[in-house]
Structure 1
Amino acid sequence: MAPFPPHFIDAETATPLETADVVILPVPYEATTTYRKGCQHGPLALLQASDQLEHYDVELRQATCFKVGIAIAEAIADSSVDPDLTPEAMVDVVKAGVLPLLQAGKFVITLGGEHGITAGVVAAYQAAFTEPFTVVQIDAHGDLRHSYCGSIYNHACVMRRVMDLGIPSLPVAIRSICQEEADLIASQKIPVQWDHERGQDPDWIEEAIATITTESVFLTIDLDGLDPAIMPGVGTPQPGGLNWNQTTQFLRQLFTNRRVIGCDVMELAPLSDSVVSEFTAAKLVYKLIGYHALCNGRLD
């Protein structure tokens, strides 16, 4: 695998880790994917694609990257370097890698890699923050199975592990679950924003955010939550999902109405003959940085 770029967008915007406001943490781990493989290459592809982003954000009407220090942390849990790293051990490695960044006051955006990584990320947030928070999940799948293919840390189980930590969730754009997950959602009254219902409700964003009972939220984005028309490079695509404008509208309102304490962007599996997915994912990360900066007084 090629070395990770030392910056997001370009060298002109690079900031030392010690003084950065935002830290992007690559976690190129893949071990439990069950359909199309390749998400271990997602973090590198996203960072390389960010070189093609404009500094200026048309929506926010300013060049966010010159007002917010952005640094790239050293990659952790790289399955190309350590192919024998088990999912259980990976979760511990990720928690140990994320926690010092949070304790240093950084806004961390973790890049995967398979969605199982989020179990370690969320565990680090729970250790770092005393106040309760909700995990907002953009995803095509419920990811609520207790175990799958012999592991409770399979990518299809990550939100079940979040539930085990006693953390509430808000799943958005869900359109594929199994019977076990359907029963759990009903018994636990999880406020799932089903994709087919969202499409019929013009007020779905306000109604979804209103179900969040905590002031703070952690945002996990499995990129298959987006419409495969704009995000084809994922391991388990599903018809439907959020288009670009729906995604950014939801995210901006989420950042505006809640305190977003961190994010991750998972499951980018680059295609060999297209750069659409990695470029869109890079632009999505830039949006996350912009909305965080806007809601924390860093932008005009």
Structure 2
Amino acid sequence: MPHGDRVLGPDPALLPVGRQGDRTLYWNCATGGQVLLGPEAVRLVETLRARPGSVAGSSALQERLCEAGMLREVRPGEPKADRSAGGGPGLLGAPRRTLPEALADPECAVVAVGMPYDVGATGRPGSRFGPHHLRASSRALFRAAGLPGLPGMYDPVRDRQILAGVGIADVGDIEADVHTRNGDTFTALERLTGAVVSAGRLPVLLGGDHSSTLPAVRGVLGARPGIAVVHLDAHLDYGRPRQGEWRADCHHGNFMDWIVGDQRVVRVVQIGMRQLVAAAPQGDPKLVRWAGSSAVGRAEDVLAVLPPEVPCYVTVDLDVLDPKELPSTGTPLPGGLTLADTVALLEELCRRREVVGLDLVELLPDGNPLSGPVAAELLLRTLDAACAGRRSRAAAV
């Protein structure tokens, strides 16, 4: 739309996420902000989405939308990349995209998002740097960009292509000038995850501290109620089931209280816990636990308590691993699972159950040159198994 000597168009990061009466709620993927627009403003934004530069709406309305960040100057030939995503390739070498672009691409099956947040940590801070470090490490293992036809990459150990036919987009990080504890960025993450699942894609969350799993699971539940949560961790992160308000009390050591307490979650499986606690946590019929290394080599037993028809959200705290293999985490504990055992278990679970959400959290870059590649390898293998399982189920329908 001409506006003075400028041509205006909608910010490419805008996504309509809901309705309130005759008004439409838009969310800005770049800023995490939201705005309600009336019918006239919606017509203007949607007209410009289809035809940037089209004349529509009053100049006063145009000015108000520019001030609100809903419209921006469009330069000829300007790329549509999400400014929040930064430069260069994303997770596993995937292209950087805005969320609307990713969801509009029929070849995009996986949407990665970073949560550079550690306000919920109670031990060492620093996991806010995890998403960036994980992306950089992952690109040394797998390169999704620049390979026409989505062939994946050949694995000589497994003698097959990894992530063959899987389109991946990285929409960048959910950021704020200052992350308030359990604040607006949690709301933004919940809405983003819900939008991705509603579109039939697989969200992959890169943490950040483990409390960010709660809004991600809530987003999945909004789109797919009736899920199981598979939780790998050295710590229980659970004391008793809780419902209702969580923003005042939730942190990375208790977020599972609200997941177990959510009636839309039908099963919770905890694996790898070995932290000493003052008293045993409260039991719950939906909760099953394999403490320490008791789940190693017992994938069939774990699968037996995950009903085949129930989709799963998988959350992996990297301190589930033996710190001899990955020391770079906020609260490392002696013992733990090996990378090989963890990968074998997750590959079996994710291949044979529908995975509707996945996260990897609590990577705290501290200069150790091996922790990033170990974390990236765990994510790569889990994601490959989850996508293979989703494809096989789709083919069987």
TM-score normalised to structure 2 length? 0.66
Q: Matches of 2:233 and 2:381 in 1, distance apart?
A: 18
Q: Matches of 1:283 and 1:256 in 2, distance apart?
A: 17
Is the alpha carbon distance of 1:58 and 1:124 closer, same or farther for their aligned partners in structure 2, counting shifts above 3 Å?
farther
- Matched with 2:384 is 290
Higher helix share: 1
Q: Larger deviation: 58-67 or 250-259?
A: 58-67
1:271 aligned to 356, 366, 376, which one? 366
- Matched with 1:42 is 130
Q: Matches of 1:265 and 1:283 in 2, distance apart?
A: 11
> RMSD across aligned C-alpha pairs, in angstroms?
2.6
Contact 1:28 1:41 in 2 (8 A): yes
Contact 1:226 1:242 in 2 (8 A): yes
Matched, 1:29 2:127: no
Is the alpha carbon distance of 1:37 and 1:245 closer, same or farther for their aligned partners in structure 2, counting shifts above 3 Å?
same
Matched, 1:143 2:231: no
Larger RCO, structures 1/2 (Cα 8 Å, 6+ apart): 1
Q: Which has the larger radius of gyration?
A: 2
Segments of structure 2 that go 5 or more residues without pairing to the other structure are: 1-83, 143-152, 393-397
Is the alpha carbon distance of 1:144 and 1:39 closer, same or farther for their aligned partners in structure 2, counting shifts above 3 Å?
same
- Matched with 1:170 is 269
TM-score normalised to structure 1 length? 0.85
Q: Tell me by how many angstroms 1:66 deviates.
A: 5.1
Residue 281 of structure 1: SS of its match in structure 2? helix
The amino acid of 1:136's aligned partner reads V
Higher strand share: 2
Is the alpha carbon distance of 1:106 and 1:252 closer, same or farther for their aligned partners in structure 2, counting shifts above 3 Å?
same
Matched, 1:156 2:253: yes
- Matched with 2:304 is 210
Is the alpha carbon distance of 1:296 and 1:52 closer, same or farther for their aligned partners in structure 2, counting shifts above 3 Å?
same
- Matched with 1:192 is 289
Alignment of 1:109-128 (within 5 A): 109-128=204-223
The amino acid of 1:169's aligned partner reads V
- Matched with 2:338 is 243
Q: How many residues align?
A: 285
Is the alpha carbon distance of 1:106 and 1:197 closer, same or farther for their aligned partners in structure 2, counting shifts above 3 Å?
closer
The amino acid of 2:125's aligned partner reads K
Contact 2:365 2:372 in 1 (8 A): yes
Q: Percent of aligned pairs with the same residue?
A: 26
Q: Matches of 1:134 and 1:271 in 2, distance apart?
A: 33
Matched, 1:10 2:93: yes
Segments of structure 1 that go 5 or more residues without pairing to the other structure are: none
1:134 aligned to 191, 209, 228, which one? 228
Contact 1:145 1:156 in 2 (8 A): no
2:347 aligned to 249, 252, 256, which one? 252
